[in-house]
Amino acid sequence: MKKRTTSIALIVLGLTACLTTVSAGDNSYTPVKQTSDMITVYIHGIDVRDGQETLQVDPIQWFEGKAADEQFLKDEPDSGLNGAPDGYYIVNPEKNLETLEVDPQADVLMQIYDRTGNVLDATTEWNQSVSLEKFNAIYRNNAVVDVSDYPYHLTLKNGKVIRIVQQFVP
């Protein structure tokens, strides 16, 4: 029963995200500008000990638009498709977990998460700034939206994460 409820919630969430994306108007999706000090990852865990936060991450390759189509066709030449479905493509051939220290003043930008406990309220709000403490709570609360399913762009400075940006996935 729980699996079915979760599936229904994910379908409603997906439809809500699609409707929100369609109605976004001037505040529509803009790809995250990739920089040399940025990596894209899946976050597999957050640990806070003695006031120091670390992330357990699995680095991935994130492609969008034309680059996604090119990489998809290179990796999947027999797919029968003309490009990457949904305009993005993720390459993650193997799970390699790394631990990264997070700067206590790190910026966190979220696109979609459980704001109220109601699946209908889990809408896309582009680059919503949240505190690191709130991000930790969002990450641990997976009843409505499991944010660990989303990629994140991490900006590093002197070996520490100084910025976390949740990647929107249609």
pLDDT tens-digit profile of 72-111?
A: 999 999 999 999 999 999 999 999 999 999 999 999 999 9
More confident residue, 19 or 165: 165
- Given a cut of 90, whether residue 162 has pLDDT beyond it is yes
What sign has the CA pseudo-torsion 89, 23, 163, 100?
A: negative
- Given a cut of 80, whether residue 58 has pLDDT beyond it is yes
pTM here is: 0.82
Segment among 8-12, 49-53, 54-58 with least mean pLDDT: 8-12
- Given a cut of 80, whether residue 21 has pLDDT beyond it is no
* 72: enclosing H helix or E strand: helix 65-75
More confident residue, 27 or 131: 131
pLDDT of residue 7: 39
pLDDT of residue 27: 65
More confident residue, 150 or 10: 150
Cα 80 vs. chain centroid, distance in angstroms? 28
- The mean pLDDT of the chain is 86
Interval 123-141: pLDDT, tens: 899 999 999 999 999 999 9
- Given a cut of 90, whether residue 122 has pLDDT beyond it is no
Question: Where in the chain are the domains?
Answer: 2-60+96-166
- Given a cut of 80, whether residue 4 has pLDDT beyond it is no
In Å, how far are 67, 95, 148, 149 from 46, measured between CA atoms?
A: 31, 17, 10, 14
C-beta of residue 123 within 8 angstroms of C-beta of residue 20: yes
pLDDT of residue 19: 39
